[in-house]
Structure 1
Amino acid sequence: MSGVQVPPPLPSLLNLNKLKYMHPVLRNFREIKNIKPLSIVSIGHGTTHWVNGIFLVLLPFIVQDLSLNYTTAGTMVSIFFIAAVAITIISGPIIDITKKYITAQFLCLLAGFIALVIMSQSTSVYTLAIAAIFIGICVSGWHTPSIPYLSQLYEKNRGLALSIHTVGASLGDGIAPPIAGLIMLYITWQQTSMILSVPVIIMAIYITRSLPAIKYDEKSSKLHVKKTNYWEGLKALLSSKNMLKLCLLAGLWSMTQNGVTVFLPLYLVFVMDASPALVGFALFSIQAGAIFGGPVVGTWSDQIGRRPIVINALLISAILLFLLPLFDNVYLFILIVSLAGCSLYSIRPVIHSWTMDLSDKNASGSAVSMLFTAQAALTGTVPIIGGLIADNYGLKSVFILLTITSLLALILSLLMPKK
């Protein structure tokens, strides 16, 4: 057997146990010791967006049944954002003082369950408005406890942890519309809303039984609460020019992102005569890239910085939204809008991580509250303005508005410091 040569051992590059040779996402993921809390919170986040996704896909058909115009439909979404502003302003200082992260997450999911039950019984614009208020509490109220909770548990891998958290949101936004759309082929939108409320209350109960509390030193925690003036902390955040620019940037980005998700279903139903299933698929396609790209983008931002990621994503979305009204074929239209949506949604964890970078961890709840207040306040104007534009100039004109908001966000991202 002297002529037989033994092959050399595989190079150490192929040894997956050596983390330094692995892809950054896999390496950072393996560095996280306890993935269970991250998984639970991410699924909970997805559940809040499940509620929002159901609302968006049902909205065009509610508009038809209740004989609403685009402005009234937009007003319903604006009510959602008014509730979002209120809950984010209130919850920030409360979360920082009480540290009741898990209880707050439970209450948000409970609000989502109530919203879907009320929506299933809606026979007028008034009950629909009440449902919109509870949806705003559910979706926007979630971030104030969940983001600081994960940021403290996974401080060394914050970008990756928050990107996985937003993957949960993208999954909720993505899978709820096609499921709701398919169910609506057989039953009414009222019955669909009631049936799809069940997973929300199940997840709410599971959260309270499964998440570990963050442990603090009692003496230092009490001393901190006594000595800290949270209004002064908020004043310090407001005096930060970079934080103010980031909040305005995030608000314009959110205007663009939510404008797409609100007016896309209306455009598909009333202009392209799409079925509920196709509307659901279109909303899913917006999220598809973000589901898989979010962790990569989040980890990448940990390495090269938040700014270049945000700049490129906003540039791509602005170009695609500008081109969107040129397409009359429904499938090409969905393809282009899905690419624009993916570029917008993929930077959600980057903006959240950027906020944590600029804030002190003791005021992280207030920082998140400040960010989401700015987002909700600005985004709340889009449904009404877009509805007025659609009623007077057609739904295609709304995408010109969204191109402008994306460009304004891009300009602000260029004004942010490089480091």
Structure 2
Amino acid sequence: MKKNHFLLGLLSLGWIFNYAHRMAIPPLIPIIKSELGISNAQAGLLMTSLLLPYALIQVPAGYMGDRIGRKRLVVISIFGYSIASAFMIFTRHYWHLLAVRALYGFFAGLYYAPATALISEIYGRKKGSALGIFMVGPPIGSGIAPLIVVPIALALEWRYAFLVLSIMSALIGLALIIAVKGEVHEVDNPKLLIPKHVFWLSLMNFIVLAAFFGILTFLPDFFVNNGRSLEESSLYFSILSIVGIFGSLIGGALYDRFKKVSMMVALMFNALLSLALAKTALPVIVPILGIFFYAVGPIVTAYTSELASDENRGSVMGFVNMMGFFGATVGPYFLGLLIDRLGYEKAFYTIPLMYTISIGLIWLEKNKK
């Protein structure tokens, strides 16, 4: 059990930096827009460019992890995304940024399916709580990203921030190689099989991650547009993510106890709180939103693992996440386009609408079953 906890800790660290790299862009958007002269829609494409290859590799990653070893593929992912992100230091034009982010997205996409399938398998009935710990990666990674990249961008130059992050994440991959010998769990007869009953959950995940990454991409700029400084706006972004650490832990624990009901409650509060944020732009809403915003991740992950067997768990985890990140690919660009045409307040009203639709889809899935 101690070995499992140690592995969970390292996997969680790798997931933290997976998110720190990808979420280094949002707090730097005001600087990048100024330097390169790009629009909000083009800024949104800086997230889309990594999320599209990330989404496409999900199912192959789940199946590859089942075949060659889940821990082995996680290590390949960490070194791959660290090296790819370090290439940001050489970018000089907008299309350079898109290409580097796409390469990063490919290697980052190899991580989630094998890692979550491995955790679900070794923790069994306690997988909700274990995945709640693992899923602190998004809030911690998103929270530390501006704390690392903004000071470096202001003191030196924003591209160096990615080099620093790459060195830090590569150390996690090295620790996994040295400290965890061999494969922890091997799949006897892996199958590339996606059951029909995961369709509604996958569609819901598409919409939820479109909303999730839409908010994360433009939240700092949303507050800058409402009269806050870049430093203050980055702080609110970090607060959302730091509070989300507790939201992730709470979400995992609630799933172990209340199962699917916990998902409905989390989605409902996300709809209400994102509506309040769009209407008022009050910073006090941010920490409350952070709890429910990040509680959804471990709940969806744990529920997905129960819809699969050991033979196809990696493939199913990858498929549901793939559909989610197709939504994440569309979300930032769609929201950026709406901001350009309608302004921030009206554009942000689409976020609670998406959460409301996702509640309906889960209810529909319940009735279908």
TM-score, length-scaled by structure 1: 0.82
**Displacement of 1:406:** 0.9
Instruction: State yes or no: 1:364 paired with 2:318.
Output: no
SS at match of 2:25: helix
**Displacement of 1:137:** 2.5
RMSD over aligned Cα atoms: 2.2
Bigger drift between 256-265 and 49-58 goes to: 49-58
2:295 alignment counterpart = 346
**Displacement of 1:128:** 0.3
Query: 2:113, 2:318 within 8 Å by CA — same for their partners in 1?
Result: yes
Q: Equivalent residues in 2 for 1:119-268 (5 A)?
A: 119-214=88-183, 221=188, 224=189, 228=191, 230=192, 233-234=193-194, 237=195, 239-240=196-197, 243-268=198-223
Query: 1:32, 1:157 within 8 Å by CA — same for their partners in 2?
Result: no
Give the Cα separation in 1 of the matches to 2:333 and 2:358: 20
Cα deviation 1:92-123 (Å, max 9, x = unaligned): 2222222x212211222223222332222221
Instruction: State yes or no: 1:385 paired with 2:339.
Output: no
2:58 alignment counterpart = 88
**Displacement of 1:415:** 2.7
Instruction: State yes or no: 1:274 paired with 2:229.
Output: yes
Alpha-carbon distance change, 266 to 246 in structure 1, aligned in 2, over 3 angstroms: same
**Displacement of 1:138:** 4.1
1:15 alignment counterpart = none
Bigger drift between 68-77 and 287-296 goes to: 287-296
2:280 alignment counterpart = 327
Give the Cα separation in 2 of the matches to 1:376 and 1:63: 24
Give the Cα separation in 2 of the matches to 1:155 and 1:96: 17
- Which segments of 5 or more consecutive residues in structure 1 lack a partner in the other structure? 1-30
State which structure, 1 or 2, has the greater radius of gyration over its C-alpha atoms: 1
SS at match of 2:23: helix
Q: How many residues align?
A: 368
**Displacement of 1:66:** 0.5
Q: 2:262 aligns with which of 309, 321, 332?
A: 309
SS at match of 1:359: coil
**Displacement of 1:200:** 1.4
Bigger drift between 408-417 and 35-44 goes to: 408-417
Give the Cα separation in 2 of the matches to 1:395 and 1:111: 36
Give the Cα separation in 1 of the matches to 2:362 and 2:290: 18
Give the Cα separation in 1 of the matches to 2:3 and 2:60: 33
2:41 alignment counterpart = 71
**Displacement of 1:46:** 0.8
**Displacement of 1:44:** 1.1
**Displacement of 1:212:** 4.2
Bigger drift between 145-154 and 185-194 goes to: 185-194
Give the Cα separation in 1 of the matches to 2:184 and 2:273: 46
**Displacement of 1:356:** 0.4
Bigger drift between 201-210 and 403-412 goes to: 201-210
SS at match of 1:68: coil
- Which segments of 5 or more consecutive residues in structure 2 lack a partner in the other structure? none
Query: 2:118, 2:185 within 8 Å by CA — same for their partners in 1?
Result: no
Give the Cα separation in 2 of the matches to 1:102 and 1:128: 30
Query: 1:44, 1:207 within 8 Å by CA — same for their partners in 2?
Result: no
Cα deviation 1:338-369 (Å, max 9, x = unaligned): 42233121121110000001111210110111
**Displacement of 1:376:** 1.1
**Displacement of 1:373:** 1.0
Give the letter aligned to residue 264 of structure 2: I
Cα deviation 1:72-110 (Å, max 9, x = unaligned): 112222111211122113212222222x21221122222
| Identity level (%) | 20
**Displacement of 1:33:** 7.1
Instruction: State yes or no: 1:51 paired with 2:25.
Output: no
Give the letter aligned to residue 222 of structure 2: Y
Query: 2:79, 2:173 within 8 Å by CA — same for their partners in 1?
Result: yes
2:250 alignment counterpart = 296
Give the Cα separation in 1 of the matches to 2:340 and 2:147: 27
Query: 1:118, 1:128 within 8 Å by CA — same for their partners in 2?
Result: no
Give the Cα separation in 1 of the matches to 2:56 and 2:181: 28
Give the Cα separation in 2 of the matches to 1:377 and 1:177: 25
SS at match of 2:92: coil
Give the Cα separation in 2 of the matches to 1:164 and 1:216: 20
Query: 2:26, 2:217 within 8 Å by CA — same for their partners in 1?
Result: yes
Give the Cα separation in 2 of the matches to 1:120 and 1:57: 17
